[in-house]
Amino acid sequence: MTPAVQLAKKTGIAHTVHAYEHDPSVTAYGDEAVDKLGLDPARVFKTLVVATDAGVLAVAVLPVPCKLSFKAVAAALGAKKAAMAEPAAVTRATGYVLGGVSPMGQKKRLPMVIDDSARSLATIFVSAGRRGLEIELAPDDLAALTGGRFAAIAVE
């Protein structure tokens, strides 16, 4: 059981864990989850870790088909600029490997911004902490568990 699943169980929030066989040759992890679980891509959210110009790591959670607006996530975090964090820094701060980074149960609680589009959905799917494992939960529960806030950070 991953730290993300443990956190969901411990807090008693409604959630469902979905597992699939991860293909090690696949590097588009979110797309793989969509395909293998037969989901609407707009309901599957990827977890990206960014570094701000102030040297702060933060988490952006947005739909798999979208791209992250670095300008929008920086503004939501009160920074001037943001860029993708170095992979080694991501693993150190979250305790997860790339492709399996969950917004929940991270080693260090990082500031988090969840794309506004999540609010229109009853549930979303995010990584449950390893490749081939997703957790489905209400967006407001994700925000409550992580201290996340909602902002428009995704672009088509």
Give the tens place of pLDDT for each residue, 115-125: 999 999 999 99
Question: So what's the pLDDT on residue 50?
Answer: 98
Query: Under 8 Å CB-to-CB from 80, ≥6 apart: which residues?
Result: 52, 53, 74
pLDDT at 58 over 90: yes
* Domain chopping of the chain, boundaries: 3-155
User: What value does the mean pLDDT of the chain take?
Assistant: 96
In a 3-state reduction of DSSP, which class is residue 114? strand
pLDDT bin (cut points 50, 70, 90) of residue 156 is confident
pTM of the model: 0.96
| b/e per residue 62-87 (b: at least 16 CB within 10 A) | bbbebebbbebbbbbbebeebeebee
Query: Which tens digit of pLDDT belongs to each residue from 33-52?
Result: 999 999 999 999 999 999 99
The architecture CATH gives domain 3-155: Alpha-Beta Complex (3.90)
The whole-number average pLDDT for the span 54-60 is 94
Contact assessment for residue 20 and residue 33, using Cβ atoms and an 8 Å cutoff: yes
Question: So what's the pLDDT on residue 79?
Answer: 96
pLDDT bin (cut points 50, 70, 90) of residue 93 is very high
